[in-house]
Structure 1
C-alpha cells in the first residue's frame, strides 16, 4: 500500500464523520478543496462513487458504506500496532470488543468481566451477546468466547480450550412428585420431554454414555420443543417435563431447589468451551489482560 492510499483514507473517513468537506477540512487543518480533491481521487482510483454530495451534506453510497467500515478497521489496526510497539504502553487501555454466547455470557462470563473492568478503568469494553457464528476479522472482534465450533481454526487465530459442558438430566420436584422419578434410562424415555429446538427446526437428541464409555444419541418424543435455553429452563422449572441441559445453565435453579438432577450416573460431556482471538492482537496489553481475567472461566 503506497503512501497516497493512506493519505486519501483519512480525509474520506473524516468527511464521513464530520458530515461535510468543510468540517473535515477544519479538523484536518486543510482546505475544503484539498479534502474534496482527495476524496475524488480515491473514488477515481476505486472506480466507484463513495459519497453522494448535496449542498448541505454528504451521504454514503452502498459501496461507500462498505469501504468506510474497512477503512475504520485498517485505522484501528494501525493504532493497535503502534500501541504494541510503544514500549511505554504497558497499561491495558483502549476499546476491547468481546463476543459471547447470549445466556452463557450473562451467567458465566459477566461475573469475571465486572472485576476486570474495575481493575482496568482505561479499557472500554464492548460486548456482543449472540449465539450466531461470529467472524472475528470481519466484525472487528478482539476475542470471542465460543461454545462448540472451535475445530479447524485458521493459523491466524489463537485458541485456548476451557473444558467441556457437563450434560445432566433434570426435572422440577413437583413434576417428579406427580410422575415419579426415573431410575433407569428405559424409565426416563417414558417421561414427558422438554427438548431444545435448533434453528433448522430439528430437536437436539438426548445424549447418553454407554456402558463401555461411548456416546449414544437418542431422539425423544417431546411435550414441548423450545428454541431458547432460558425458556427451556423456565418450562422445566414449571414442572412441565424432563430435560437434558448443561450444568452451567441450571446451576442457580439447582441451588434454589427449583430443579433436581435425575440419573446422576448419566452426565456425559457436551460441547467444548473455547477462548478465540486474532494472534496479531495477543501482544496488546488489553487482550493479554483479558486472557488472564478469563483463565478461570468454567463450563461444568
Structure 2
C-alpha cells in the first residue's frame, strides 16, 4: 500500500473514531485498514494510535503526524479539485437535511432552483425536526439551528434567530399584555415542544436565566399548530422568530416580553467535505449561502 493511502487510512480512523467506521468510509476491508496502520507505524517507528476495547485515539506522536497528513492530503485535494471538479457542472446525488418549517419556507425553494440549474445532480431532501448525524446518516449538507458543539463538520454561518413570545392582537385586547414573564401564570399558554419545555419557558432578566413555570392550555409538537392556536386566540406561545415572521409581518401575531428574550441562536450550514472536494457539495453551498445570508428573517429581530 502506498504512503498516501496509508495516510488516508490513518486520518479516517482518527476522524471516524474506529477501524470499522474508517473501513466503511474508505470502502476497504477491516483487515486492509489494520494492515495499513501496522505498515505505517512500522515505517515510522512510532505508535500512532492508542486502542481500547471501546475506542481508538491518536497518541501524542499520532496527533503531530495527523496535522502533517492533513496538510499533505489537502494539498493533493486542492490540485485534483482544480483539475477534476467542475462546480459549474456537478454530478451525483446530494442529500440535504433541514428542520421541517425552516426547510419548507427557506430551503425547499432553493433546492428546487438548484435542481433546475444543475440537471445532473439528483437531490434527496430530508426535513426533520432533530439534528442529523452527517456521517452516520449519509447527509452531505445539513442546516442546523442552535449552538454548535465540538464537531468534525465544517460550519458556514448563515444568520441567527431568536426565541420569542407571541400573542394575537385579539387575545391581548381581551386578556391584557403580560409585562413580566411571571405574569404568564395568569394567562393561557400554548407550548410548542420544539422550542420550549411544556411546563417551563425560558427568559432572561438582566443577563440571568429566568425559567418560568406555566400551566399550558395546549401542548403541540408542530410550529404551525402553535402559530395557528396563537392566531386563533387560544393563548400565548413561544417560537423561534422565523417561525412566526410572516404572521408578525401581517399583523396577525405580536411579539411580547421583548425585554426578556434569550440571546440569538445561530443558523449554520454543515458539511463534511474538506476544501470543496465534492463538486455537488461546493456548488450547493455556494448556491444557497448568500441568498440565506440576505434573508431578513434570518438576521434575527433586533435585540432591545
TM range (shorter): 0.5 to 0.7
Return closer, same or farther for 1:287/1:237 CA change in 2, 3 Å cut-off.
same
Structure possessing the higher radius of gyration over alpha carbons? 1
Provide the TM-score with structure 1 as the length reference: 0.64
The runs of 5 or more residues in structure 2 that have no matched partner are: 3-30, 32-76
Q: Which residue of 1 aligns with 2:200?
A: 205
Q: Distance in 1 between matches of 2:264 and 2:213?
A: 16
Match of 1:167 among 163, 167, 174: 163
Q: Distance in 1 between matches of 2:204 and 2:138?
A: 40
Structure 1 moving runs of 4+ over 6 Å = none
Q: Distance in 1 between matches of 2:223 and 2:236?
A: 14
Contact 1:99-1:145 at 8 Å conserved across structures: yes
Return closer, same or farther for 1:240/1:84 CA change in 2, 3 Å cut-off.
same
Provide the TM-score with structure 2 as the length reference: 0.63
Match of 1:152 among 150, 153, 174: 150
Q: Distance in 1 between matches of 2:171 and 2:205?
A: 27
Match of 1:137 among 135, 156, 162: 135
Superposition RMSD on alpha carbons, in Å? 3.2
Listed one character per residue, the Cα deviations across residues 33-59 of structure 1 (whole Å, up to 9, x for unaligned) are: xxxxxxxxxxxx9xxxxxxxxxxxxxx
Contact 2:276-2:282 at 8 Å conserved across structures: yes
Contact 1:170-1:259 at 8 Å conserved across structures: yes
Q: Which residue of 2 aligns with 1:237?
A: 231
Cα distance, 1:223 vs structure 2: 0.9
Secondary structure (helix, strand or coil) at the match of 1:279 reads: coil
Q: Distance in 1 between matches of 2:87 and 2:106?
A: 28
Return closer, same or farther for 1:119/1:240 CA change in 2, 3 Å cut-off.
same
Q: Distance in 2 between matches of 1:85 and 1:295?
A: 21
Secondary structure (helix, strand or coil) at the match of 1:178 reads: helix
Q: Distance in 2 between matches of 1:88 and 1:250?
A: 40
Cα distance, 1:85 vs structure 2: 7.4
Q: Which residue of 1 aligns with 2:84?
A: 87
Cα distance, 1:249 vs structure 2: 0.2
Cα distance, 1:160 vs structure 2: 2.0
Contact 1:97-1:141 at 8 Å conserved across structures: yes
Matched ranges for 1:65-104 at <5 A: 84=81, 87=84, 89-94=86-91, 95-104=93-102
Cα distance, 1:219 vs structure 2: 2.5
Secondary structure (helix, strand or coil) at the match of 2:242 reads: helix
Cα distance, 1:204 vs structure 2: 6.6
Q: Distance in 1 between matches of 2:134 and 2:249?
A: 36
Contact 1:197-1:204 at 8 Å conserved across structures: no
Cα distance, 1:188 vs structure 2: 3.8
Matched ranges for 1:210-225 at <5 A: 210-211=205-206, 213-225=207-219
Q: Which residue of 2 aligns with 1:32?
A: none
1:246 paired with 2:240, answer yes
Q: Distance in 2 between matches of 1:141 and 1:84?
A: 21
Secondary structure (helix, strand or coil) at the match of 2:243 reads: helix
Q: Which residue of 2 aligns with 1:121?
A: 119
